[in-house]
A and B are shown apart, each in its own frame.
Chain A
Amino acid sequence: MGSRRFARTPSLPLFEGGLPCAAPSLPAPKEALAASGRRFLMLHGEGLATERPAVWALRFSPLVGIWREEGLLLETTGLPDREPELLRRILHAFDKAGAAARGLLGGAPAALAALLRAGTASQVLTPAQEEAARPRLPVTALALPAAMIPALHRLGLRDVAALEAQPRGPLARRFGSAIAEELAALRGWIAPFTPVRPPPRHVQAREYLSPLCTGPALERAIGMLADRLCAGLLESGEGVRALRLTAFRGDGSWQELRQGLGQASRDPAHLRRLLDRRVEELRPELGFEKLILGAEVTEALHARQAGLPGEETPKEALSELLDRLAQRLRIWRLAPRESHWPERAVRRADAFGPIAEAPAARRPLRLLRRPIPITASALLPDDPPFQIVIGKRVERVVSAEGPERIEPEWWRPPEERPPRDYYRVQLASGARWWVCRRGVVGEVEAQWFVHGFLP
């Protein structure tokens, strides 16, 4: 089999919406496995290929995916434990959680899945063992369409060694690209999988021998994770925009909290304060055994000398304050909008972003969300009112400016929006109101409202 032939097979999909297992450019076949050096654990078992077990498995590795609806794939590259112990620990944990599983730890996920399908027992495979086991895999164990297997058998192709000995061109013409893709996947060249949660850029995890139940203990534990996370962020010159805290209970259930930040930060005190406020949402029940704090979204953040307490720049202090306020309350800014309708002339804008200045106008300082209905008397239908009755109070109007007529905006879909006439009136007491008549002048159903108080 020549690599030239392989290179000519029509476009192999490298991505399937997930992360490419190997680098997008195909490495030379022989060194593919050794070069990538990534290690995976494939788990097969009853009902494992669903979201619940997958998220639960995040306690072992930050990268977990559901593999082709038959198993779970955990990336174990770089995990601190030694591989045999890791495998034993994970299988034991799954057993304890009531989901018995078989697992193979090796380099090429597709090969691991095929070996499991062929009935291999749980073990850790070195690259050499994997290399040796691959050619003996029967075609029935491969991820090929069921209809293809008898056809391959008729051709006398019973295992991977026989398949690999065939020239790829005729195989591709007869069976499509499925076989070539599967053979490449077996060697670990392509292995797309979609992680069940996006892998965090930075993650800190810790297991606790005695489960954490109380608020102070959780706050302390989360604070320590936040400190370590910030140290990692500082090293890589990043700041976090979104945090995810996953807390695993002893009984196999877990709880996830997400916390966004208005501005990238790696200030441990700020993260601690934000997370402390969320601790009350955690439900430990019998206690949390493991906490994982991940920085899901990060941004480049320039190194800056840490100031003394109270010396932070106003901009940072503001964004930290807004983060805290937004945790509990709704906050926004008001941006101008081009409209003559008073209530449409401003819109709510993001509290963190800058907004444009509104032009000054003779308008009230507060626009009542629910205008107060009043009864107004005028000498002539289109005269300003000379007397206003609000509730049981009768107010005499001393002076009035207006009317300022506001017509419906014709470019909007027609609604029940009669034109309005606004008057600025001053009462005998000196109070100034912004009143409006809603409806066509002289019609009976014209109604009067107070829409705001002028200074």
Chain B
Amino acid sequence: MSAEAPLPDPTDRAALLAGLRARIARLDPGLAGMAGRATLPLSPELDGHLPWNGLPLAGLHEVLSAEPGAAIGFSALLLARAQAALPGRSVLWIAPEPDAYPPGLARLGLSAASLILVRAPRPADALWAAEEGLRCPAIGAALLFGAAPDLTAARRLQLAAETGGGIGLLLRADDENPGPTAALTRWRLSARPSPEAGPHHLGEPGWEIALLRARGGRPGNWIGEWDAARGELRTLAPVQASAPGKKRRA
């Protein structure tokens, strides 16, 4: 924890209160200043729904992959947004067998020039690399594949992200019971047929974006479409969950 500033003169009540508030904010940045945090813009609807008015930086986020293409697409979009919001910082891609493919990632706006791949066959190594990376002020985002860290490990990643100021992304398979999490948000991504698709035309990528939980916010469900030409995510207003049987505890 950073060094504590001396409290002001105890007779000055207002200054004293402000000082104490600032100290609490320093002690747990996750609690204080919901609206005052630096965020990544996603889309107007998503930003308006999230309690931080956007996806907060200096935090850990979980993406459950119900369909590999959609989940990696959404994650790559977040990485690209983090790259744009934190210029000069690099992005870590940590996986047992990293197989990122820059030509495809470039279409989502992710630049390969600052993308560093880390091969971590053992989950312990992957967590260590993610924590070291997130703590480093030169890393804008770290994407961690496959590992389902326990609560302690996830909390460590969250604290590391608060130190470094980047975002941590956990991309995991969509388990039946994803368990509790220390991450700020948890998303589930599934594919959705594009409305303008024809037999010989795929149309723009369509995703079903489910916000399963957000610290201090409500869950939600959207239909998203990635507009590659304009480089933006278009979302429709919240919809009902796709199938009642697939509803899971978050």
Task: Report which A residues bind B (CB closer than 8 A).
Answer: 310, 312, 314-315, 317-318, 320-322, 324-325, 328-336, 342, 345-346, 351, 354-369, 398-401, 424, 426, 428-433, 452-455
**Complex Cα distance A334/B102, Å?**
7
A324 to chain B minimum Cβ distance, whole angstroms, is 6
Chain B interface residues toward A at CB < 8 A = 67-70, 72-73, 76, 88-90, 97, 99-108, 111-113, 115-120, 125, 128-129, 132-133, 136-139, 190-194, 197-203, 205-206, 208, 226
Bound form: Cα–Cα A86–B238 in Å: 83
Q: How far, in angstroms, from A366 to B203 measured CA to CA in the complex?
A: 20
CB of A76, distance to nearest CB on chain B (Å): 44
A357 to chain B, nearest CB (A): 5
Which residues of the other chain, B, contact A399 by a CB distance below 8 angstroms? 197-203
Q: Is the CB of A430 within 8 A of B112?
A: no
| Interface residues of chain A: helix, strand, loop or mixed (majority) | mixed
Question: Is the pair A325, B129 in contact by a Cβ cutoff of 8 Å?
Answer: yes
Q: Select from chain B the residue with minimum beta-carbon distance to A426.
A: B202
Quick one: given A317-B137, A321-B132, A357-B113, are A400 and B118 in contact (CB under 8 Å)?
A: no
Contact across chains for B205 and A398 when beta carbons are under 8 A apart: no
Q: Are A360 and B103 in contact (CB under 8 A)?
A: yes
Chain A contacts for B106, CB-based, 8 A: 357-361
In the complex the two chains form, is A365's CB within 8 Å of B67's CB? no
Write the nearest CB–CB distance from B218 to chain A, whole angstroms.
25
In the complex, the answer to whether B193 meets A428 with C-beta atoms within 8 Å is: yes
- Structural contact, A366 and B99, CB atoms closer than 8 A: yes
Dominant secondary structure of chain B at its interface with chain A: mixed
Contact status A318-B139, CB under 8 Å:
yes
The contact of A361 among B103, B129, B201, by CB within 8 Å, is B103
CA distance A429 to B117 in the complex (A): 31
B138 engages A314 (CB within 8 Å): yes
Q: Is the CB of B69 within 8 A of A432?
A: yes
Give the top 8 A-B pairs by smallest Cβ distance, nearest first. Answer: A455-B73, A430-B191, A453-B69, A318-B138, A358-B102, A360-B106, A363-B104, A314-B138
Residue of chain A at shortest CB distance from B140: A314
In the assembled complex, the Cα of A424 lies from the Cα of B136 at a distance in Å of 39
In the complex, chain A residues whose CB is within 8 Å of the CB of B97:
369
CA distance A430 to B195 in the complex (A): 10
Q: Report Cα–Cα, A362/B202, bound state, in Å.
A: 12
Partner of A362, one of B72, B107, B201: B107
Check if A452 sits within 8 Å of B104, measured CB to CB: yes
Q: Assess whether B104 is in contact with A317, with CB atoms less than 8 Å apart.
A: no
Which residue from chain A places its CB closest to the CB of B75 in the assembled complex?
A: A365
Out of B120, B136, B192, name the residue touching A317 (CB < 8 Å).
B136
Distance A355 CA – B106 CA, assembled complex (angstroms): 14
**A400 to nearest B CB, angstroms?**
7
Task: Give Cα distance in the complex from A23 to B101, angstroms.
Answer: 55
Q: Which residues of B lie under 8 Å from residue A329 when comparing CB positions?
A: 118-120, 125, 129
Residues of chain A within 8 A of B111, CB atoms compared: 357
B99 touches A369 (CB 8 A): yes
From A336, A398, A433, A453, name the one whose CB has the most chain B CB atoms within 10 angstroms.
Answer: A453
Bound form: Cα–Cα A401–B73 in Å: 19
Interchain Cβ contacts under 8 Å between A and B, 13 examples? A321-B133, A329-B125, A333-B112, A333-B113, A336-B102, A346-B102, A355-B112, A360-B107, A365-B105, A430-B194, A454-B104, A455-B70, A455-B226
Q: Please, which residues of chain B bring their CB within 8 A of the CB of A315? A: 138
Chain A residue nearest to B117 in the complex (CB): A332
Q: In the complex, what distance in Å separates the CA atom of A121 from the CA atom of B119?
A: 60
Tell me the complex Cα distance, A345–B101, Å.
9
